[in-house]
Structures are given as structure tokens and as C-alpha cells.
Amino acid sequence: MTWLLTCDAHRKAIAEIEQTKSDRATVIVATSVVEKDLVKAISLRLVDDERETNMLLKHSGPLGPFEAKAHLAYLMGLIDAPLRDDLTLVADIRNRFAHQVEPLHFNSHAIHALCDKIAIADAPAYPEIPDEGLPAECRRPAPLPPDATPRDRFIQAVKLFLIAFWRGNHTESAGDWQDGTWTPREG
């Protein structure tokens, strides 16, 4: 499945994942991309006060942790409970990679077990993005094969999260899909 990337920064981040093949880089960078889209989804529905929003949602703010943002999005009705649960699993995986100095990889027992719990990766069908301008593989992702690795499951989940947030952030805006990036049209 192709990555649904909404800006040049996302494209550069995913290129880093694909170039390094590092499990740690994959987890940390991919989760950062998801977190940016989650923050955008939350911010679009708050009072238009950029200073206050930034203060609350910055990493050192009261709603700074990725898991806190997932719970907030759930309480705001932006996501359902299963998506919230999957986001908290991904937050746990990210924290383990970010805070453990020892080598860690997707086949580590704890990480493998967490990846197996990510329900969205097993979704038989995910709602199609209603935009014919997007490539088919971005509108309706293919299910994972039965022999998918923990890394495959993690990446599939991240791609599906990006689609879920895209739906919330862009479904009513016209735009263009070009070179792997969605650009909403102004006005």
C-alpha cells in the first residue's frame, strides 16, 4: 500500500524510514508523522487560538504525550475506541524504542506481542477515501497477508491511521494528488 502523505515533511520522513530500514527509525519517525496528523485533527476542532493550542499540545504540555492526544481525540468524538486503543499500543511501542538504550527490533518478544494486538492492521475492509483523484491503493488499502511480519503490521497500522486522519482533515476540501502528496486547494 502506498503511503498517503499530506505534506513535503511527511514525504521526507517516510523517505528516511525507507532508506535506513532501521526498526527504531521506522517506529519513531512513523509515529511522529501520525502524531502531527492527530494534532491537526484535534486543532481543527478547537477554538482558533494557536498560542493556547500549542501550549496544551506541545510535547512538554499537559496534553503533550502521544497517548494523551489519542484519548483526547476519542473524547472529542474524532476517533472511535478501537482506533484509540490501537493508537495507545503504537504510543507504547514508540516509547519503548525511544527510551530503551539497548538494541530493540520488531521481532523482540514484547514488541512482537504489541504489534500482534494492533487491530486495525487486520481490518478486512477500511472505508474508502471518497476522492477519485487519489490512487486506488491509497483509497482502499489491501489487507495484510497472513504471514505479515510485526514490522509489516506496524507500518500497515500507521498507513491506516494516516488515512483515518486524512478523512477527518480533508474530506470536504478539494485538492490535488501529485507525487505521493495530497495538497488541499485554497478557497
Q: Could you read off the pLDDT of 23-44 as tens digits, one per residue?
A: 999 999 999 989 988 988 888 8
- Going from the C-alpha of 85 to that of each of 73, 89, 140, 179, 185, the distances in angstroms are 11, 6, 22, 32, 33
Please give the CATH number for the structural domain made up of 8-170.
1.20.120.330
Q: How far is CA 45 from the centre of its chain?
A: 18
Instruction: Give the tens place of pLDDT for each residue, 39-76.
Output: 888 888 888 888 988 888 888 878 888 999 999 999 98
Domain ranges of the chain: 8-170
Could you tell me the pTM of the whole model? 0.80
